[in-house]
Amino acid sequence: MKNKLNNLTNKEWLKFQKSWFIHNPPPRKKGVLVHPAKFPETMAQEFIEFFTKEGETVLDPMAGTGSTLVAALRGGRNSYGIELNPKYANIAKQIIEEERNTLGEAIDNLKSEIVNGDAAQITTLRLSSGQAYQLPIIDYVLTSPPYWDMLRARGAETQKKRRSAEELDVHYSDDPNDMGNISDYDEFLAKLVRIYAGLKPLLREKAYLTIIVKNVKKGGKIYPLAWDIARELGKTYTLKDEKIWLQDNQPLAPFGMGSAWVSNTFHHYCLQFRNE
């Protein structure tokens, strides 16, 4: 049978089709530790190698410190990333250059480009020089959005240690265009869905989009961010499926013990859409 989607063997294909997987990220390198919410290159590469063939092109419209682009290089794919925060964009450029030097001549013909800009303006992006920036046709999108404004929550356990280390960011930026600074949930959701829907002119037919996200808790209430994205973005693309990313190496905390149910949430939804 001709494999039209990727370069995997039948055994590798079947293994990826399981609807859940455990992935405990390796320790983060110092250069990217400053970013408060980063998904691992090791996991990103597995998705890229399933949803594309070698030499195809991957986009991350919220690139952070460049995990998707590093994973794409390792997998032999071209890649582009849009990042609003100039600090993270510069870090990503440095990390990508280091990765290119490590991989050597084998990836000389591959593109890996970070653009400092707003993903909400992706079809009309301009460089700092004022020149219009034109992305090529994209074969696959892999990204993870801000989990609403949860990095602004003072009680977030994951942020307490970061606050004690002055060089580590506890939120993305103070830019008013930063999605992580929108306090109203409905406004945040609507803008996020517009950004993803706005990618459609750049995508080839039947290109997949993977969005890694989880539901969030705030003020004693759960906001079903993953499910809301699935419902709303499913009006633009076809929602094909989901994979559940589990982490089993996190310490448990006694939230609500003795009085209320509050889970320790160690899973994310990897939503799979297709441009049909």
Instruction: Please report, for the domain that includes residue 51, its CATH number.
Output: 3.40.50.150
**Which residue range forms the structural domain that includes residue 182?**
25-250
Asked if pLDDT for residue 17 goes beyond 50, the answer is: yes
Instruction: Give the confidence band of 191 by pLDDT, cuts at 50, 70, 90.
Output: very high
Residue 32: inside a domain: yes
Distance CA 77, CA 81 (A): 13
Instruction: Give the confidence band of 31 by pLDDT, cuts at 50, 70, 90.
Output: low
Residue 10: inside a domain: no
Number of domains in the chain: 1
Question: What number is the average pLDDT over the span 83-109?
Answer: 94
Residue 206: inside a domain: yes
Instruction: Please spell the DSSP secondary structure of 200-235, one letter per residue.
Output: GGGEEEEEEEEEEE--EEETTEEE-HHHHHHHHHTT
Residue 274: inside a domain: no
| Better-scored residue on pLDDT, 179 or 12 | 12
Do residues 107 and 70 touch, judged by C-beta distance below 8 A?
no
Q: Provide the mean pLDDT of the chain.
A: 88
**What confidence score (pLDDT) does residue 102 get?**
95
Instruction: Give the confidence band of 182 by pLDDT, cuts at 50, 70, 90.
Output: confident
Burial of 90 (0-12, 13-18, 19+ CB in 10 A): middle
Asked if pLDDT for residue 195 goes beyond 60, the answer is: yes
Residue 131: inside a domain: yes
Angstrom distances, CA of residue 214 to CA of 70, 144, 256 = 23, 10, 21
Residue 88: inside a domain: yes
Residue 259: inside a domain: no
Distance CA 71, CA 68 (A): 5
Q: Give this prediction's pTM.
A: 0.88
Residue 45: inside a domain: yes
